[in-house]
Amino acid sequence: MIFRKNEMPAANEPAETEAENPFIEAANALVEMERNDELPEGFDLQAAVQDRAFAELLQEFEPKAAVRIYAAEKRADEAENSVKTRMSEQARSRSQLPKSQRTDRAAAPTPDYMSMSKEAFSALEKQYRNAAHNGKRVQI
């Protein structure tokens, strides 16, 4: 890049001072909150500053509000994951229980061929032959 003589920035003059840079201000505020023990219980500042979501919150809100929102979102995520895990464990434990062999409907009675009359047996035999002739599987 070519600068004209009057456009060239001074070598010893910083482009922005520390007070004008929002990231430096946020970092200073976070360090101050950590020193004063104002961070929520269990809040991991090292992990938070490496998370892109926390950086976006810092751009949108004041550092104290960003910390509170981020901590609340993390707690909500942990609670949701805990519920999902608990529900999956319940489903898994229920699937290991023995299943009932009993059904809601009554079983069809099996015909007693020995005590049937000759006419009833002939009618049943005819019904089975017709079913077999129509392609249905007949099981006696």
Q: Give dist(CA 103, CA 86) in Å, integer.
A: 30
In a domain, 26, yes or no: yes
Q: Tell me if 11 is assigned to some domain.
A: no
Within-domain flag for 129:
no
User: How many separate domains does the chain show?
Assistant: 1
Model's pTM, two decimal places?
0.49
Task: Note whether residue 123 is domain-resident.
Answer: no
> Cα(5)–Cα(66) distance, rounded to whole angstroms?
44
Spatial separation of the C-alpha atoms in residues 20 and 25, rounded to whole Å: 8
Could you read off the pLDDT tens digit of each residue along the chain, which spans 140 residues?
344 444 444 444 454 455 567 777 877 888 888 888 778 887 777 888 788 888 888 888 888 888 888 888 888 888 888 888 998 888 888 777 777 666 677 777 777 888 888 998 899 889 888 988 888 877 76
